[in-house]
Amino acid sequence: MVVGAQWGDEGKGKIVDLLAQEADVVCRYQGGPNAGHTIIFGGETHKIRQIPTGILSGKVAVLGAGCVVDPEVVVAELDAYGERGTFCLSGNAHLIMPWHVAIDQASERRLGKLQIGTTRRGIGPAYADKASRLGIRVQDLLDPKILRQKIEVALAEKNLWLERVYETEPFDLETVAGQYEGYAQRLRPYVADTSLYVDTALREGKRVLFEGAQATLLDLDHGTYPFVTSSNPVAASAATGVGIGPRRIDHVVGVSKAYVTRVGEGPFPSEIAGSEQERMRELGGEYGTVTGRERRCGWLDLVALRYAVRVNGIDQLALTKLDVLSHFAELPVCVRYRTRDGSETHDFPAHQSDFHAAEPVYELLEGWNEPLDTCSSVAELPDAARSYVEFVERELEVEVTLVGTGAERSSVLTRA
């Protein structure tokens, strides 16, 4: 399985796409269209938000029970890519409804300076309704009568909230019911028992790849709460999100940039100060896939990455966008945090206030000037770049098995 080891946008899409070439089935287990996976091959760029990227390579793409699904986005992606592969959608996944999007937007507006900086796609409100047992699920699309009834019950409450609490427009039952019945007609053929499907595929010896969305530090339980998403991106969640046992997962590949980015609010110890941050943003093209927002940029943070290795059980690391670091004279790497009491630690702080106050302790590594696009393996990297990779491996005690040196599928170096 492939999991984001930072705050998202590590280039998981690209690594999943590469590994998908060897897989039969590619599954998503959490999140919704807040993800934005960019895949570049054969000179074409594809941005995909909801359907697992394996569909682009002709694989079986499974959206598991742990996902929240915006049917409008799925229908658009099926129109664009459906012919390329096979799509299966869990009947237990929850639907994102128009009021979820409206509430996400209104509550962020209301929070003002305290906002989370969500993607405003309705993710949080959809998961909140799931936990409150008020959600509408994909399987409710199978019966038009049930669907209309559930929308009616939900709207009776949601419209009160929208009008009286958030002071925005209510939704009209007939309009929403008509719109969702339209999606239902498109999606019914794809609804399946995805737990059974994946179990059967594994029993038949097929190769199954799990595609994490968002990332470790955005995990609802293990991330930098409250500046997190509303699902569990961590590796163990693949088992619950798809409905298989935890011992079926053989390998956990963590994906990390060679530096760090974060969109949205929240503490970020190794964030770069001043114009160097802009330089990094320009070099790395660090603007959000879903929202177009500027991503905040920082130096590689090995304290946070060590934490990601722990909570996911990462046994191999893919280090992406190493090429972006070419032409910096020196590369600070955060190796420890200095805490409020003046001591230093290798371990990620367990409490929010300690993380807020954490100061990065850097080790300065040597930069390199050579471009990396002529290298065809890790062994061929310029000395300083190879040392950078080896430093990460030593500090984390995890092998870096893949190194990204450019946007194309082909620009990923393996060890040999």
CB distance 267 to 305 below 8 Å: no
Decide: helix, strand or coil at residue 54: helix
Site for ligand IMP contains 411 (CB under 6 A): no
Answer for which of 6, 8, 103, 296 binds ligand IMP (CB under 6 A) is: 8
Site for ligand IMP contains 9 (CB under 6 A): yes
Answer for which of 29, 190, 227, 388 binds ligand IMP (CB under 6 A) is: 227
34 is in the binding site of which of Mg ion, ligand IMP, none (Cβ under 5 to 8 A by kind)?
A: ligand IMP
Q: Looking at 30-38, 245-253, 255-263, 347-355, which segment touches Mg ion (CB under 5 A)?
A: 30-38
Nearest to residue 197, comparing CAs of 2, 30, 65? 65
180's CB contacts (< 8 A; 6+ apart) are: 71, 95, 97, 141, 147, 151
Q: Is the Cβ of residue 124 or residue 241 nearer to ligand IMP in the bound state? A: 124
Site for ligand IMP contains 5 (CB under 6 A): no
Q: What does residue 301 show for φ and ψ, rounded to 5 degrees?
A: -115, 100
Q: Any catalytic annotation for residue 9?
A: yes
CB distance 404 to 11 below 8 Å: yes
Q: Looking at 213-221, 327-335, 345-353, 370-378, which segment touches ligand IMP (CB under 6 A)?
A: 213-221
Site for ligand IMP contains 230 (CB under 6 A): yes
d(CA 186, CA 182): 7
Nearest to residue 100, comparing CAs of 155, 49, 147, 149? 155
Q: Any catalytic annotation for residue 37?
A: yes
Answer for which of 62, 123, 151, 325 binds ligand IMP (CB under 6 A) is: 123
Q: Looking at 63-71, 117-125, 148-156, 240-248, which segment touches ligand IMP (CB under 6 A)?
A: 117-125
Site for ligand IMP contains 124 (CB under 6 A): yes
Longest dimension (CA), the chain: 66
Q: How many residues bind ligand IMP (CB under 6 A)?
A: 20
d(CA 302, CA 316): 15
Site for Mg ion contains 289 (CB under 5 A): yes
Q: How far apart are the first and last CA of the chain?
A: 22
Residue 294: CB atoms within 10 A of its CB come to 14
The conformational region for residue 292 under phi > 0 = left, psi -120 to 50 = alpha, else beta, is left
Binding mask 33-52 for ligand IMP (x = CB under 6 A): -xxx----------------
What is the contact surface with Mg ion in residues (CB under 5 A)?
9, 36, 289
What is the contact surface with ligand IMP in residues (CB under 6 A)?
8-9, 34-36, 116-119, 121, 123-124, 213-214, 218, 227, 229-230, 263-264
Catalytic residues: 9, 37
